[in-house]
Amino acid sequence: MSGKTLLEVEDLRINFPTRIGQVQAVRGVSFSLGRERLGIVGESGSGKSQTGRAIMGLTPPQAEVTAKTLAFDGIDLLAAPPRERRALRGKRIAMILQDPKYSLDPVMSIGRQIVETLRTHERVSKAEARDRALAMLEAVQIRDPARVFDLHPHEVSGGMGQRAMIAMMLIAGPEMMIADEPTSALDVTVQLDVLGILDRLVSERGMGLIFISHDLRLVSSFCDRVIVMYAGKVVEQLKASELRDAQHPYTRGLLNCMPRIGFERHPLPVLDRKPEWAA
């Protein structure tokens, strides 16, 4: 099962036409994903988030997305009609966004937002949808699901909001999940809780996960494989366990940026950026 390829990306390019010319956000990214955890790491602006959104089909309308291959489970995503892509979203491919404060609809109760995903993709009665939503809330370790069900997003903490987000995105049972900086907006204390929940659900359900983050250490401890992106390109691809042996100077730079206890921290290392890496 785990050997089967879920997602195939080959030579993905994303262009944004602007007044001053084309901005190439992603320039020929290739990778494939099975039922495993893949981390994509890079600074802001490296194109990692746009890569995730292109797979979802959620790039802004003015963006031009091209690829030799962009296939999910054998379905050519770029050739698929919008209706088919929409049916995939939420049902088979899901995405978790960064900050639950902004990514949950502020005027709709949490329960209704979860039920909405389910009823978009499955014909279930209201009562059944409610039961399954409550069960899902329990699965993301919310103690009092019945109460949280009726709360609005502003009434819960960031950690609980992100758990509700996970529940909302997992309820229809997707096979693949894109998590775009899912813990960056949370307090450090709850980051690990949320990651743990995500980790458990992903492995229990045998899902494929793309974990997008700027935090190399987090990604390396959490994922099986890591892709390092710089200026819209993949500069290095390696197993998380082999991170110490990274070859590319940019990856090494990212690694060296992390302060370690017991070592001299001054001067703080600054990331090296060479134009030829982007070439």
Partner 1 sequence: MSVAENQATAERGGTRAVAVLSSIGRFLVIAVTTYLGLLAVTFFIGRVIPIDPVLAVLGDRAPANVVERTRREMGLDLPLIEQFYIYVKNALNGDFGTSVLTTNPVMTDIRRAFPATIELATLGTLIGSVIGVPLGVLAAVRRGSLIDQIVRIIGLIGYSVPIFWLGLLGLVLFYAKLQWVAFPARLDVVYEYTFTPITGFYLLDAAMQGQWDVFYDAFRHIILPASLLGYFSLAYISRMTRSFMLNELSQEYIVAARAKGLSERRIVWAHALRNAAVPMVTVIALSYAGLLEGSVLTETVFSWPGIGLYITNSLQNADMNAVLGGTIVIGSVFIAINLFSDLLYRVLDPRTKVE
Binding-site member from 116, 122, 128, 199 for partner 1 (CB under 8 A): 116
Binding mask 132-171 for partner 1 (x = CB under 8 A): ----------xxx---x---x-xxxx-xx----x--xx--
- Residue 64 or 105: the one with the smaller Cβ distance to partner 1 is 105
DSSP bridge pairs for 239: 225
Q: Is 188 in the site for partner 1 (CB under 8 A)?
A: no
Spatial neighbors of 23 by CB under 8 A, at least 6 apart, are 15, 16, 17
Q: Is 121 in the site for partner 1 (CB under 8 A)?
A: yes
- Residue 113 or 251: the one with the smaller Cβ distance to partner 1 is 113
Binding-site member from 20, 107, 127, 279 for partner 1 (CB under 8 A): 107
How many angstroms separate the CA atoms of 41 and 47, rounded? Answer: 10
Which of the stretches 15-23, 93-101, 127-135, 209-217 binds partner 1 when contact is defined by CB under 8 A?
A: 93-101
CB of 144 to partner 1, least distance (A): 5
DSSP bridge pairs for 236: 228
- 3-state SS class at 65: strand
Backbone angles phi, psi at 251, to 5 degrees: -60, -45
Q: Is 120 in the site for partner 1 (CB under 8 A)?
A: yes
Q: Find tokens 């997707």 and name the residue.
A: 174
How many angstroms separate the CA atoms of 60 and 55, rounded? Answer: 13
Sheet of 233-239, strand order = 93-96, 176-180, 208-213, 37-41, 225-230, 233-239
Binding mask 41-80 for partner 1 (x = CB under 8 A): ------------x--x-x----------------------
Strand (E) or helix (H) holding 14 = strand 7-18
How many angstroms separate the CA atoms of 266 and 246, rounded? Answer: 23
Binding-site member from 11, 64, 75, 86 for partner 1 (CB under 8 A): 86
**Interacting residues toward partner 1 by CB under 8 A:** 53, 56, 58, 86-91, 94-95, 97-99, 102-108, 116-117, 120-121, 142-144, 148, 152, 154-157, 159-160, 165, 168-169, 172
